[in-house]
Structure 1
Amino acid sequence: MELDDAYANGAYIEGAEAFPPRWAAAAAGFREGMMEAGLAELDLSYGEGARHRFDLFKPEGQAKGLLVFVHGGYWLAFDKSSWSHFAQGAVEAGWAVAMPSYDLCPDVSIAEITHQIARMVPVAAEMVAGPIHLAGHSAGGHLVARMVVPGLLPEAVAARVKRVMPISPVADLRPLLKTSMNEKFKMDDSDARAESPVLQQPLEGVEVIAWVGGEERPVFLEQATALGEAWGCDCVIDAGKHHFDVIDGLQERDGRMITRLLG
């Protein structure tokens, strides 16, 4: 299809095939340590489906608030088990971190995945007091951006959301109609428009920070900057980072990404 190459990340990242097993191993090690410390609750339910589960990682003492991190994979791949270690920076900074799995296309539509995350956030919010911040990578960036569009989250929960960071987000889904992935997404133009944050506006009072690697594919730089322009928010271009290592900053308590995300 016309835009398959434009949206291909791994083909342009050296050693791309090594990233998923490395993520999975690091995530398993982090979970084990958090469980031993009594600071993790795993496979918490937010719905009836087998993948409607999230993990909650807690700091020592009272949490400052809740960070929800939503993974990517083009709505087609992965689950929460590969990303646990990206909670490290926020946990060390005193925040609780919830990480959900969700159903994947083509079993469900992207719109249904959006509504699954909207059902998950309030469940996690009941478990942790204080402000709620959201972050997501790639497809997860799309999903967290959608959470701060009016009408998705219950009002009481939405009022607690103070900051959202879509990282390398797919913010305009219309170009995906020209990729072979749409054989699994099964979107038409109306579907793509309805799920495109660039065609919507965020809740008032929520700070939005788009973040993208400087070495990403041009379409991802375009997607992030388009969200920044549409929403009038900051768009940070992280020099030297590509689509797979741009999220590494989430592990660094005092790093630039965590500092911007948590304040």
Structure 2
Amino acid sequence: MTHTHDLFDEAINKDYMPSRRVPDADAIVAAWVRDSAAVRETFPPVELAYGAGEHERLDVFKPDPEARATLLFIHGGYWQAFYKETFSYLAPPLLEAGIRVAVMSYHLTPAVTLAQIVTQARQATAFTATQFPGPLIVAGHSAGGHLAAMIHATDWAAQGLPDVKLTGGIGISGVYELGPLRRTELQPALQLSAQQAHTLSPAFLQPISAAPFLVAVGADESDSFVWQSQQLADAWPGVASQVRLLPGRHHFGAPDDLLNLALELLK
């Protein structure tokens, strides 16, 4: 059996650790927390449970008056950090555009497996679609981009879930081919076998939804993150088309383009 540390590769690890590549990463995350707290004061969300687990929860922000669409946002943190409360800051521009915003939490590794988190994302999507009929966009950033793509590749009947009709998907600086992550410091928490990394990689799956999936990545990201987006665009021609490089955006600034991407899908 290959031990986890035998796989580690310093160069690959460096490319996949944006918190070390972006000098003020900690300050940006602190601003997310601060801004999100302010948003929650101004627009108190309704918390809904999409499952029985402690973190199987959504924060729903509703525009005034009626929503033209719902956007389900799945946060990043490499499946081992953050909950929904940190990402309320993304809601106001979407609300202003008439878009209902649902931000989901999920359980984190290593307490659960990545496969279990994928199941939670699917359950949250089916729940959101049932609760809020109408146009639905599923968007995710970083590890959340991976989960958004997995949703796009979901056979709902096979999962025992109600059918979901997506208007579109958005992956912002996502990871779609998980093999390289086995060679990073994430592997002790993820514990991915080569087989699991393949099975859980959207780049090796076919999209089930025919709706467009926008593959966007910060232009200032590492080569590996740009490569990840290219892998999905190449694997999903017609659905994903070309990679969108977001000018002037590093990993932590890329979610700020969420509204523009969502509006593109609602044209």
2:255 to 244, 247, 251: 247
Q: 1:70-123: per-residue Cα shift (whole Å, max 9, x none)?
A: 000000100001001212222111111111100000001111000001111122
- Counterpart residue number, 2:203: 198
Distance 2:210 2:166 in 1: 9
Encode CA deviations 1:33-86: one digit per residue, 9 max, x unaligned: 112xxxx312x1111211111100101122112110000000010000100121
Give how far 1:204 is off: 4.2
Distance apart, 1:192 and its partner CA: 0.4
Whole-angstrom distance in 1 between the partners of 2:232 and 2:69:
26
Partner of 1:211: 216
Q: Deviations over 1:100-152 (max 9, x none)?
A: 10000000111100000111112222221201111000000000100011314
Distance in 1 between the 2:225 and 2:58 partners?
27
**Compared CA separation, residues 61 and 154, structure 1 to 2 (3 A):** farther
The worse-fitting range, judged by mean Cα deviation, of 104-113 and 198-207 is 198-207
CA contact (8 A) 1:63 1:94 kept: yes
Give the equivalent residue in structure 1 for 2:87: 83
Is the Cα–Cα contact under 8 Å of residues 71 and 102 in structure 2 kept in the other structure?
yes
Q: TM-score, normalised by structure 2?
A: 0.90
Question: Equivalent residue for 2:172?
Answer: 167
Amino acid at match of 2:30: P
2:14 partner SS: coil
Tell me, yes or no, if the aligned pair for 1:89 and 1:258 is still in contact at 8 Å: no
Partner SS for 1:119: helix
Matched with 1:58 is: 62
1:125 partner letter: A
SS in 2 for 1:121: helix
* 1:155 shift after superposition: 7.0
Q: For residues 89 and 258 of structure 1, what CA distance do their matches in structure 2 show?
A: 11
Distance in structure 2 (CA, Å) of the matches to 1:135 and 1:188: 27
**Partners of 1:57 and 1:224 in 2: how far apart?**
29
**Is the Cα–Cα contact under 8 Å of residues 173 and 193 in structure 1 kept in the other structure?**
yes
Q: CA deviation at 1:161?
A: 0.5
Residue aligning to 2:3: none
Question: 1:148 & 1:17 partners in 2: Cα distance?
Answer: 31
State percent identity of aligned pairs.
33
